[in-house]
């Protein structure tokens, strides 16, 4: 296989002493990646959850090429451009009513960082001493300092603990214990918390843990009761992953602030937005410059990224993209059922286009070395699957076929057999 082993590149979330090489991919199309030597990999996790319709989706690629012919980059303070203006208008139209303003950034982490800063700025500009942020146990919101603070304390952020601010934690609302989470949230909100940030319906890096729509409804109700701002981190869940365009749709709620990124451009290029209600924008609108919202990056609202996102929205609005998502939800549900009563697995769960299950093994947590063995096993079978410790999940692009999905699930079946026999 085409593997790079002698490289100056420092790769993310990688212990190079244990994973010294990386497959060198030369081509991608649809649900497949092709290495320089011709080896193919089924991208069963959408390249870290970003690819939606498929790799190199033609309309998005065409929009990118066209945009490079007119405008590549421009400062976004005091200047603007039509792709950014058009994208903002369309995002306001397709998201839940009330998300009236769009702030551009570059990634999921920065979208959430912006959301936290918006919330804290809102209360400061209103003259109210609210600074505490509430988050959910096991959550992950990014790798900047603010988002690490909101995320669960873990090996991900342990070296940076001295820099992180204190966050109130509510228990994950596992089945049968939802009220414990709601009671904890209400207690913190009653004390005057600034904001509650949550991944709606499913926690991503925290283990693909799922919870119900009604719990999300109740969380929003509690926040409204105590005027705590509700931040929905839809970086992963947005653009179809949970079966609807946005996860909050399923609960019929509108967050005060919402974060979108990965699927915003169909996964083609980096772009993120943080959307908010009018009152949050208005709290920063004043004759005093000191009340402005002080956040930016050099590439805010990059025109090429915005053009890719507009093409992505065209696909959602003018093609059968929603039908493909519905079909994938059905296919995933059928394959999850295959393992529902399998004694080798526990907690088989299915939400929209996502399926996850936990291997019954002695190791637990993200650092479980079994995940490295499993990755090697899947790679050898031509699959990009990246377990979260003993948690296996399948989160494919929407163009995947049933036959391609079966390659992933047959490999999961075989991996469980190998583990049981001690061969893995």
For residues 254-259, give the mean pLDDT.
98
**Which tokens sit at 260?**
């979108």
133-136/195-198 β-pairing: parallel
Rounded distance between C-alpha atoms, residue 50 and residue 415, angstroms: 26
- pLDDT exceeds cutoff 90 at 219: yes
**How many residues does this entry show for the chain?**
424
| pLDDT class of 164 with cuts at 50, 70, 90 | very high
Rounded distance between C-alpha atoms, residue 193 and residue 117, angstroms: 14
Q: What is the pLDDT of residues 97-118, one digit of tens each?
A: 999 999 999 999 999 999 999 9
- pLDDT exceeds cutoff 70 at 1: no
Top-confidence residue, 66 or 424: 66
pLDDT of residue 323: 98
Domain with CATH 3.90.1150.10 in the chain: 3-56+320-421
Q: CA separation (Å) from 116 to 3, 99, 128, 376? A: 40, 16, 16, 38
Average pLDDT, the chain: 96
Domain with CATH 3.40.640.10 in the chain: 60-318
- pLDDT exceeds cutoff 90 at 421: no
133-136/391-394 β-pairing: unpaired
Rounded distance between C-alpha atoms, residue 182 and residue 179, angstroms: 5
For residues 197-201, give the mean pLDDT.
98
Which CATH architecture describes the domain 3-56+320-421? Answer: Alpha-Beta Complex (3.90)
Q: What is the pLDDT of residues 270-289, one digit of tens each?
A: 999 999 999 999 999 999 99
Rounded distance between C-alpha atoms, residue 305 and residue 269, angstroms: 6
Rounded distance between C-alpha atoms, residue 252 and residue 49, angstroms: 24
Which fold is adopted by the domain 60-318?
A: 3.40.640
| pLDDT class of 405 with cuts at 50, 70, 90 | very high
Dihedral of CA atoms 254, 261, 55, 69 in degrees, nearest 10, equals 110
Q: How would DSSP label each residue in 159-171?
A: GGGGGPPP-EEE-
| pLDDT class of 228 with cuts at 50, 70, 90 | very high
For residues 252-265, give the mean pLDDT.
98
Q: What is the pLDDT of residues 332-382, one digit of tens each?
A: 999 999 999 999 999 999 999 999 999 999 888 888 889 999 999 999 999
Q: How many CB atoms lie within 10 A of CB 184?
A: 18
Residue 276 β-bridge partners: 101, 257
């Amino acid at each position: 296989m085409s593997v790079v082993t002698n490289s100056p590149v420092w790769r993310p979330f990688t212990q190079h002493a244990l994973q010294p090489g990386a497959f060198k991919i030369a081509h991608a199309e649809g649900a497949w990646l092709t290495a320089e030597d011709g080896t193919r990999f089924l991208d069963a996790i959408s390249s870290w959850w970003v690819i939606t319709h498929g790799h190199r989706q033609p309309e998005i690629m065409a929009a990118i090429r066209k945009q490079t012919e007119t405008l590549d980059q421009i400062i976004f303070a005091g200047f603007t451009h039509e792709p950014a203006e058009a994208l903002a208008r369309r995002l306001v139209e397709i998201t839940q009513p009330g998300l009236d303003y769009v702030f551009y950034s570059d990634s999921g982490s920065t979208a959430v960082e912006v959301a936290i800063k918006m919330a804290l700025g809102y209360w400061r500009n209103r003259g109210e001493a609210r600074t505490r942020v509430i988050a959910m146990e096991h959550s992950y919101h990014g790798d900047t300092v603010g988002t690490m603070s909101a995320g669960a304390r873990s090996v991900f952020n342990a070296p940076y603990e001295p820099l992180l601010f204190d966050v109130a934690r509510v228990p994950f609302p596992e089945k049968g214990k939802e009220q414990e989470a709601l009671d904890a949230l209400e207690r913190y909100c009653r004390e005057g918390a600034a904001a509650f940030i949550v991944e709606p319906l499913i926690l991503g890096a925290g283990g693909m843990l799922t919870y119900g729509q009604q719990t999300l409804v109740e969380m929003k109700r509690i926040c409204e009761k105590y005027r705590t701002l509700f931040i929905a981190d839809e970086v992963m869940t947005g653009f179809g992953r949970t079966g609807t365009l946005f996860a909050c749709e399923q609960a019929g709620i509108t967050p005060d602030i919402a974060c979108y990124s990965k699927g915003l451009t169909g996964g083609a290029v980096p772009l993120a937005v943080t959307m908010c209600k009018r009152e949050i924008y208005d709290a920063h609108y004043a004759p005093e410059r000191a009340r402005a919202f002080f956040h930016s990056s050099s590439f805010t609202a990059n025109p090429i990224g915005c053009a890719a996102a507009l093409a992505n929205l065209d696909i959602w609005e003018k093609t059968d993209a929603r039908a493909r998502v519905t079909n994938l939800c059905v296919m995933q549900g059928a394959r999850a059922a295959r393992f529902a009563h399998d004694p080798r697995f526990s907690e088989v769960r299915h939400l929209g286009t996502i399926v996850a299950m936990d291997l019954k093994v002695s190791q637990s947590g993200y650092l479980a070395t079994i995940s490295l063995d499993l990755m090697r096993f899947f790679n050898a079978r031509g699959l990009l699957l990246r377990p979260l410790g003993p948690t296996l999940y399948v989160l494919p692009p929407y163009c995947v076929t049933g036959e391609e999905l079966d390659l992933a699930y047959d490999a999961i079946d075989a991996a469980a057999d190998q583990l049981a026999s001690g061969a893995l």
